[in-house]
Amino acid sequence: MSLDVTLQTDPGAISTDPVEEARRQIEICNACRYCEGFCSVFPAITREKVFADGDITQLANLCHNCRGCYYACQYTAPHEFALNLPRALASARTDSWERFAWPGGLARTFQARGEALAAALVIGTALMFAAIAGLPGGGAGFYAWLSHGAMVAIFLPAFFLPLVAIAIGLRRYWQEVGGTRITWADLRDAGLAAGRMKNLSGGQGQGCNFEKEERFSDARRHVHQAVMYGFLLCFASTSAGTLLHYLFDMQAPYGFWSLPKLLGVPGGLLLVVGCAGMLMLRKKADPELGTPGRSSGERGFIWLLGFVGLSGLLLYAVRGTGLTGPLLALHLGGVLAFFLLTPYSKMAHGFYRFTALVRDAQDRRARGNV
Amino acid sequence: MTLSDPKQLSAGVWDVVIAGGGNAALCAAIEAAEAGAKVLILEGAPKAYRGGNSRHTRNFRCMHHGDLGPLVETYDEDEFWQDLLRVTKGKTDEGLARHAIRTSADCLPWMQAHGVRFQPSLAGTLSLDRTNAFFLGGGKALVNAYYLTAEDLGVTVAYEAQVKHVGIEGNRATHIDVEFGGALHRVQGRAFVLASGGFQSDIEWLARAWGPSARNFLIRGTPYNRGVVLKDMLDQGAETVGDPTQCHAVAIDGRAPKFDGGIVTRLDCVPFSIVVNKNAARFYDEGEDVWPKRYAIWGRLVAAQPDQVGYSIIDSRSIDLFMPSVYPPISADTIDELAQKLGLPAEALAETVATFNAACRPGDFHPQKLDGVATKGLVPPKTNWARSISEPPYYAYSLRPGVTFTYLGLKVDQTARATGPEGRYDNIWSAGEMMAGSILGQGYLAGFGMTIGTVFGRIAGQEAAKHVA
């Protein structure tokens, strides 16, 4: 039996490199193991004795930043080991998204800078105003302002090109973490974990330590669920509209008791409430436990997502009035910016996190540790 | 509530004043506050380091009949008592010990009701899942939970409040002198609970008790347990128990921090190694028993070596047999190179290894159990896992004694009341490490420190509250 001990680092050698620093802290955690019951990260740590770069990337993406381990840690500063695992893993995680993003460079800009996201929103909105002004409408409701054909021409590429970019990033991720062939069981496990936000439960349902320091709270889990399910409902609403349009030849506008509205209105409300809640919780949370230098980009992303939800609801509220045109431009501008920036904004975290959960399920199964 | 204005300390008379801020102190504070008392905790450490050695603990040894919380099967009073008798070799007080054991069963649900969460046994500790309940997140999570509970009950906490003196008239304590915010304050109280730990972090005291070699010891726990309150009580003639010259020490990685290294400085490779001193000579049977039963005696063994240092040496076949150490091993392709890197006499080390290798016999090496693979004709022998050190690369870890706690403490009765020169004090109770010597005269039983702290902390709090009611 042999072990590559050259991977091991000196526990006292604090590093500025995100991967090196995460490795140093993870090694200390593996020698302690007190936090094993909090989330999936610690059992995954105990399955290794030394940690290659790919292991660090996987652990970093598995971490949901619940912060339970930080407040329970006997080695946080001023201790000379100066552990802050939530921050170390957040740094390594963000670093990995920026490394995997294609084309490179864009992620750095949009993950770090809220202003860049705001600028993208302004440009998207301006483009939509220009499109509405320059292209003929054709149909009822908002199609009177911008025709269905024009919308498809703009949003089909704006939807699929980012998906291609995300797929390239995920493929790079999968190679780095040493993933194997994915089974339905892996996807089911990951889906259950993400669907219940199991890794924000604190291990026993008491929640996480995001906004109340060492006191546990389920607030972040709840607002994140609101955002996630709100987003998924909105997405389902758009998909339902597309199906109705093409398969059943039923064109917008749809009434309240139609599938797109029944999915979209609650979805929009959840998205708006969730984003507002998330912004409020972030104000109370200790920024020292999050990703250094990414706070503005993360906040900007929540604002953008909330704006998409709010403008969508307003668009419905002002239907039949002269405000439809400007609001349509605002809403579609937001959607355009949001779609195009998906691979380069905080939105990417959902894809990587889910992939990390798939990999974790796979690894647990491979080691007989389900 | 956290106290910030020093004037509050001496503004009135507190019902219960508690010296210390670890597990025992918190249990006492919660019990007293629940009984309606106005409670002040004087914690010597800053908030980040609050909780004394409890911060480094991970479990609670508990008697139980049938499954209880995370505990499985049954661990009855008699088995618990026999375990204690074995490790202390009879140096215990049966009455107090059995009282602690019996009360432990009620403590676990009480702990849960006051915010403590438990988790199943940690990876690599399955042997303890019947006897020891592990805290979710470890001892600091427990300490946090208790501070939050105490805060909700209206307990006042002063951090960085160094107790200097307990004012006693006859059998009655009247006040505590505490240094807070750079000045000395007199805190008046009606009942006092002393739960401020042992003296292991006062290296000079340790050196006076143990000998000058104690200056080379590492202290595994908090640097704030300097025994100031204990010494003050001794000076005032309080009755003590426990051997003042002894401390509990285990062998830990020699590169560990001087203080507060805690659990991660643990080193589990000794049974698969040969251990030499700074002269490259072996000095004890490394394979006498499985490591959980031997790590405690190795503290003393290393303490008896020149410069209080040892070196555990393995070859590449053994590097994957134990829990990873937090420090990377020192590695080399030859024994000679390893000796250079460790600063050991190369010829002597080569000879020690060669002699050991020559004494090894073929056998069925089995790392998980006593395999009986022993040396022949070697002094001292290695009686299990004696496999030659011959497959490079070679690896070494240094070893030093790591002190966990001291045995000297205040003598208490079953109500946790301390005794002075004129008999039992009217209003002074003690709990936790500060009186654990009453029950642990020698040796240690994993998780029993937290049992003593919880049982007697609660009793002290209840009794103090009764006294002021």
* Tens digits of residue pLDDT in A120-138: 999 999 998 989 888 888 8
E strand or H helix that includes residue B78: helix B77-88
Q: Which residues pair with B409 in a beta bridge?
A: B241
CA B451/CA B457 separation, integer angstroms: 10
Give the three-state DSSP class for B83. Answer: helix
Report the amino acid identity of residue A217.
S
Residue B280 and residue B425 in one domain:
no
User: Quick one: B390 and B417 in the same domain?
Assistant: no
Residues B372 and B417 in one domain: no
Nearest CA in chain B to A77: B48
> Where residue A143 falls among pLDDT bands split at 50, 70, 90?
confident
Q: Which residues contact A362 (CB under 8 A, 6 or more apart)?
A: A179, A180, A182, A183, A186
> Do B324 and A30 lie within an 8 Å CB cutoff?
yes
Contact A5 B135 (CB under 8 A): no
Terminal Cα-to-Cα distance of chain A (whole angstroms): 25
Residues B93 and B209 in one domain: yes
Same domain, B198 and B101: yes
The string of DSSP letters for B415-427 reads T-EEEETTEEEEE
**Cα separation values, B165 from B175, B227, B230, B280, B400, Å:** 8, 12, 10, 48, 34
Q: Do A5 and B331 touch (CB under 8 A)?
A: yes
pLDDT of residue A1: 44
Question: Residue A266 pLDDT > 90, yes or no?
Answer: yes
Using alpha carbons, select from B465, B404, B462 the residue that is nearest to residue B433: B404
Same domain, yes or no: B317 and B432: no
| Non-local CB neighbours of B317 within 8 Å, separated by 6+ positions | A1, B387, B391
The angle at the Cα of A231, spanning A229 to A236, to the nearest 5 degrees, equals 90
Instruction: Look at chain B and count its residues.
Output: 469
Q: What is the pLDDT of residues A313-357, one digit of tens each?
A: 999 999 889 899 899 999 999 999 999 999 999 999 999 999 999
B54 closest CA partner among B94, B97, B92, B111:
B111
Mean per-residue pLDDT, A149-154: 89
Strands B132-135 and B59-61: antiparallel
Nearest CA in chain B to A72: B141
Give the pLDDT score at B124: 66
The nearest alpha carbon in chain A to B263 belongs to A32
CB atoms inside a 10 Å sphere around CB A39: 23
- Residues B78, B181, single domain; the answer is yes
- Strands of the sheet containing B132-135, edge to edge, are B59-61, B132-135, B118-119
Positive/negative CA dihedral, B4, B10, B12, B16: positive
Examine residue B1 and state whether it is found in any structural domain, yes or no. Answer: no
Q: Kindly report, residue by residue over A9-68, the tens digit of the pLDDT.
A: 999 999 999 999 999 999 999 999 999 999 999 999 999 999 999 999 999 999 999 999
Nearest Cα of chain A lies from the Cα of B203 at a distance, in angstroms, of: 19
What contacts A173, CB < 8 A, 6 or more positions away? A57, A61, A96, A100, A179, A352, A355
Chain A 202-221, CB below 8 Å of chain B: which residues? 203-204, 206, 214-215
* pLDDT (tens digit per residue) in B278-319: 999 999 999 999 888 888 899 999 999 999 999 999 999 999
Closest of B285, B294, B309 to residue B379, by C-alpha: B285
Q: Note whether residue B447 is domain-resident.
A: yes
Mean pLDDT, chain A, as a whole number? 94
Task: Choose one of B402, B421, B451: the last residue of a domain.
Answer: B402
Assigned CATH topology for domain A100-357 = Fumarate Reductase Cytochrome B subunit (1.20.950)
Taking alpha carbons only, the member of B417, B420, B294 closest to residue B28 is: B417
Do B126 and B260 fall into the same domain? no
Number of domains present in the structure of chain B:
2
Residues B454 and B379 in one domain: no
Report the residue of B264, B316, B327, B330 to disrupt the A interface, i.e. the one with the largest count of A CBs within 10 Å: B264
Tokens of A139: 């149909």
Length of chain A counted residue by residue:
370
Q: What is the mean pLDDT of residues A81-98?
A: 97
By CB atoms closer than 10 A (0-12, 13-18, 19+), residue B182 is: exposed
Residues B206 and B262 in one domain: no
Give the per-residue pLDDT at B121: 77
Residues of chain B with pLDDT under 50: none
Q: Please, are residues A345 and A297 in contact by the beta-carbon 8 Å criterion?
A: yes
B82 and B180 together in one domain: yes
Q: Chain B interface, mutation test: which of A3, A29, A34, most B Cβ atoms within 10 Å?
A: A34
Which of B49, B326, B395 comes nearest A11 by C-beta? B326
Judging by DSSP bridges, how do beta strands B162-169 and B156-158 pair with one another?
A: unpaired
ipTM of the predicted structure? 0.95
**Average pLDDT rounded to a whole number, residues A192-206:** 96
- For chain A, the structural domain boundaries read 5-98, 100-357
Domain holding B272: CATH number? 3.90.700.10
Enclosing domain of residue B395: 250-402
Whole-number Å distance between alpha carbons of A22 and A92: 7
DSSP secondary-structure letter at A255? P
State the Cα–Cα distance between residues B41 and B149, nearest whole angstrom. Answer: 13
Task: Note whether B434 and B368 are same-domain residues.
Answer: no
8 Å CB contact of B319 and A77: no
